[in-house]
Amino acid sequence: MKNAPIGVFDSGVGGLTVLRALLEGMPAERFIYLGDTARLPYGTKSASTVVRYALQAAKTLHDEGVKCLVVACNTAASVGLEAIRERFDDLPVIGVVEPGAEAACAASSTGHIAVIATDRTVHEGAYQQAIRRRLPQARLSVRATPLFVALAEEGLTEGPIAESVAQHYLGDLFNASDPSMPDTLVLGCTHFPILKGAIRRVTGAATRIVDSASTIASAVRGGISGALAGSDDARPRDVRFLATDGIERFARVGSRFLNRTVQPSEIELVELKASITS
Ligand code: DGL
């Protein structure tokens, strides 16, 4: 069990921002990363479709013998976490919403927290609930920013296009002349951290920008405390990559998310188990 890999999945390459944090925080572990690139985006789809896709991704990783499942997609975690936990009750299942909310509450001093995410995540209210559980008096400004997903998948993360989209979504919220503007911004989608530079230009330097990556490794460690690999098992960068489509694009864009070169030859094309339904 200790030597079994940890499964990580997202709708695309965005979850690689989470995998990167896990690789840094848990160097003795092996990982299998699954990007459901054939069906991205999840964020514009109905809850029942996202749950169905999430269960199929979870089944694929479960069949690979993972010892724990990290749902590195806020959209899937917002709507599908309970369904995955019920279906695969032999596995610890960790989503990215709670660690993201944890990081936001720790960062904010005024209690005014902005959250940006996909349409589905915003609609489900998972961040709103997770933040309010920790900080009942929080003031929340929540926005769907779906174009950021397309920009990230396209690798258009800097420059005038990314900045004008950031301005479009966030310009009025982060108005430096407004003393009550949010002091913290949660990137509630794993595709967004790679756009941090463009987002930062709009929020200004003083805003704390947080995401789940900073706290995910400790959440996973807590979830599998009895099954952690020993430190003498160190096997740096032991990752298998699975994708449901677009291997070349996954390699090209994923290399930027992961901050290391991913070769197309490292990525296996898979079909998800379609037999499982919600
Ligand atoms: N990376 C996914 C998330 O964290 C969203 C991208 C998508 O819409 O598929 O929500």
CA 73 / ligand 1 centre spacing (Å):
5
Instruction: Name the band, by pLDDT with cuts 50, 70 and 90, for residue 232.
Output: low
Q: Decide if 68 is catalytic.
A: no
Termini Cα distance of the chain: 28
Q: What is the pTM of this model?
A: 0.94
Kindly give the pairing relationship between strand 31-35 and strand 6-10.
Answer: parallel
Find the 13 Cα to ligand 1 centroid distance in Å.
9
Structure-token match 């407004």, residue found: 178
Tell which atom from ligand 1 comes closest to the C-alpha of 96.
4
**Of 22, 73, 198, 239, which residue is the catalytic one?**
73
Spatial distance between the Cα atoms of 120 and 118, rounded to a whole number of angstroms:
5
Residues 46 and 31: their CA atoms lie apart, in Å, by: 29
Range from 41-45, 58-62, 111-115, 220-224 carrying the lowest mean pLDDT: 220-224
The rounded Å distance from CA 142 to ligand 1 centre is: 16
Alpha-carbon span 211 to 208, nearest angstrom: 10
Q: Does the pLDDT of residue 277 top 60, yes or no?
A: no
Q: How confident is the model at residue 173 (pLDDT cuts 50, 70, 90)?
A: very high
pLDDT in tens, 49-77: 999 999 999 999 999 999 999 999 999 99
Distance CA(16)–CA(268), nearest Å, equals: 16
Q: Tell me if 116 sits within 8 A of 131, measured CB to CB.
A: no
pLDDT band at 278 (very low <50, low <70, confident <90, very high): very low
User: Considering the chain, what is the average pLDDT of its residues?
Assistant: 93
118 lines ligand 1 (CB under 6 A): yes
* Local confidence band at 214 (pLDDT 50, 70, 90 cut-offs): confident
